[in-house]
Amino acid sequence: MINKKISQDKIVNILFHVIAVIMILMVIYPLWFVIIASFSNPADVATGKVWIWPKTIDVRGYEQLFSQKQIWKSYLNTILYTLTGTIIALIVNITAGYAMSRHDMPGRKWINAFYIIPMFVSGGLIPTYLVVKQFHLLDTPWVMILPFAVSTYNIIVARTFFQNSLPESLWEAAQIDGCGTLRYFFGFAVPLSKAVIAVVGLWTAVGLWNSWFNALIYLQNENLIPLQLLLRRILIANESLLGAATGTMAQELRQLSDMMKYGSIVVSTLPIMLLYPFLQKYFNQGVMVGAVKG
Best CA proximity match to 66, nearest among 75, 57, 56: 75
89, 195 contact by CB (below 8 A): no
Mean pLDDT over residues 246-254, rounded? 69
81, 139 contact by CB (below 8 A): no
Mean pLDDT over residues 212-240, rounded? 86
Q: What CA–CA distances, in Å, run from 59 to 137, 154, 255?
A: 40, 40, 12
Q: Rounded to two decimals, what is the model's pTM?
A: 0.80
Mean pLDDT over residues 47-61, rounded? 81
Residue 83 half-sphere exposure, CB side, CA atoms within 13 Å? Answer: 7
Domain residue limits, the chain: 1-58, 60-287
% of the chain at pLDDT higher than 70: 88
**pLDDT beyond 60 at 207:** yes
**pLDDT beyond 70 at 244:** no
Measured from the Cβ of residue 84, the count of other Cβ atoms closer than 10 Å reads 17
Task: Assign domain 60-287 to its CATH superfamily.
Answer: MetI-like (1.10.3720.10)
Eight-class DSSP state of 293: -
**pLDDT beyond 60 at 290:** no
Rounded to whole angstroms, the Cα distance separating 49 from 102 reads 60
**285-291 CB contacts, 8 Å cutoff, 24+ apart:** 285/195, 285/199, 286/157, 286/161, 286/195, 286/196, 286/198, 286/199, 286/200, 287/199, 289/157, 289/160, 289/161, 289/164, 289/165, 289/195, 289/196, 289/199, 290/160, 290/161, 290/163, 290/164
Eight-class DSSP state of 5: H
3-state secondary structure 256-291: HHHHHHHHHHHHHHHHHHHHHHHHHHHHHHHHCCCC
Rounded to whole angstroms, the Cα distance separating 251 from 240 reads 14
* pLDDT interval class at 285 (50, 70, 90): low
**pLDDT beyond 90 at 80:** yes
Least confident of 27-41, 171-185, 216-230, 231-245: 231-245
260, 134 contact by CB (below 8 A): no
**pLDDT beyond 50 at 21:** yes
pLDDT tens digits for 106-151? Answer: 888 888 888 788 778 777 888 889 999 999 999 999 999 998 898 8
Greater pLDDT, 2 or 84: 84
The pLDDT score that the predictor gives to residue 83 is 93
Greater pLDDT, 160 or 242: 160
**pLDDT beyond 90 at 256:** no
